[in-house]
Amino acid sequence: MWRAFQARGGQANLKTLARLGEKRRSYARLFGVESYADFTLRRRMALNVGNVQAFLGEVKGELGEREERDLSELRAAKAAELKTAPDTTPLKRWDVGYYLERVKRERLALDQESFRRYFPPQASVDFVFALAGRLFGVGFEPVPQSLWHPDAKAYVVVDAAGRTPLATLYLDLYPRADKYGHAAVWPLRGSSTWSGQLPTAALVTNFDRQGLTIDELETLLHEFGHALHVTLSHTRYAAQAGTAVKLDFVEAPSQMLEEWVYDAQVLALFQQVCASCEPVPADLLARAVQSRSFAKGLQFARQHLYASYDLALHDKDAPDPMALWARMESATPLGYEPGSLFPAGFSHVAGGYGAGYYAYLWSLAIAQDLRTAFAADPLDPAVGRRYRETVLANGGQAPPAELVARFLGRAPSNAAFFEWLER
């Protein structure tokens, strides 16, 4: 089963990927740039390939020992099950997912379903609205409208101080036939102070009507972060509004907000908006926090490999996609498994993230850096207001590094990200 999954896309996709790489290199050279990676990164926060390589090198240095510890733990779990010695028990790539889940379940005994009773859907919406109100000084007023489905709701986003309308937000939370099957935010209209246009966004999810797991609450807050980026934008031109920012920055505001889900002080807002909601037990929340940190070394080492491969794939030379992957994966602790065709199914390189996969890690580093401003108090309205006016309001009309530095009062740093990786 593992081999079949790793071979999806097949040789046909490998040929397509090779042609795509050639076309991208030719395109870059039309502009006098040697590689597609160099061409693309000129318009990103990272600016150039050298900066990305340096960043990925730092990440690799931080992950090395952590990855080895994670693999040793999984190898020991396999050895215990087979009743063999750990040092003579081989760990194969298809073992990883199974033993990760097994060890995690045995150690933490965390059942995501147990959270649904604490996070009813409407209370979860009211929670994120209350959080935004406390931090950013905004309110959400329901507006009766005939929309595309009875489940969809409309809200006017207002400034809490003067009740001035700022934007419109649509929520469509529950699954149904033929609906988009994931969670996302669509900017429907961008802010433009020049024309007087107010922004509009739609937040779409597929949550269970019985309640959310803590993973789903994290998803809601992540997508709400994108929605806030759109609706609290205050840019001169709509083309620079909201999430119209550099690819390697666009996820940072949402990734930052994810952290609030695991803070007991923040979750106490549930009881303010839902009198019947029980608090999440401290031990259950603690196990959820531990679950997020479980096997970080393995998780992020894999992300590092994907980012490094994507960057090398778009270098000035014309590497064979499969040979390049086999060489790079062979240098990892578990090596390359002959016959696997991962590049044939690596859809990100053709889905907007060509020479950009590193952005997931890069934006997470920015997110953790931004979060340091809230370290003393995650609900500090003064810091929240400064964040709204400095980062969210500016959308893409100023360089993200400049906005981050202005908000933090210093140059961006990866230190908080590396500290977070070690937890």
Q: Which residues are catalytic?
A: 223
For residue 77, give every residue at least 6 positions away whose Cβ sits within 8 Å of its Cβ, in sequence order, or none: 99, 102, 103
For residue 72, give every residue at least 6 positions away whose Cβ sits within 8 Å of its Cβ, in sequence order, or none: 86
Say whether 351 sits in a helix, a strand or coil.
Answer: coil
At 88, the amino acid letter reads T
Look at residues 411, 420, 124, 119 and name the one whose alpha carbon lies nearest to residue 299.
Answer: 420
At 230, the amino acid letter reads V
- Where is 167: in which H helix or E strand? strand 165-172
CA end-to-end span of the chain: 33
At 303, the amino acid letter reads Q
DSSP string, 108-154: H---GGGGTTT--HHHHHHHHHHHHHHHH-EEEEEE----SSTT-EE
- Where is 157: in which H helix or E strand? strand 153-159
Give the other-Cβ count within 10 Å of 379's Cβ.
17
At 93, the amino acid letter reads R
Sign of CA pseudo-dihedral 347, 365, 98, 79: positive
Whole-angstrom distance, CA of residue 282 vs CA of residue 286 = 6
Say whether 301 sits in a helix, a strand or coil.
Answer: helix
For residue 3, give every residue at least 6 positions away whose Cβ sits within 8 Å of its Cβ, in sequence order, or none: 94, 337, 339, 340
CA distances from residue 352 to 151, 305, 348 in whole angstroms, order as listed: 31, 18, 7
Whole-angstrom distance, CA of residue 410 vs CA of residue 404 = 8
Give the other-Cβ count within 10 Å of 167's Cβ.
24
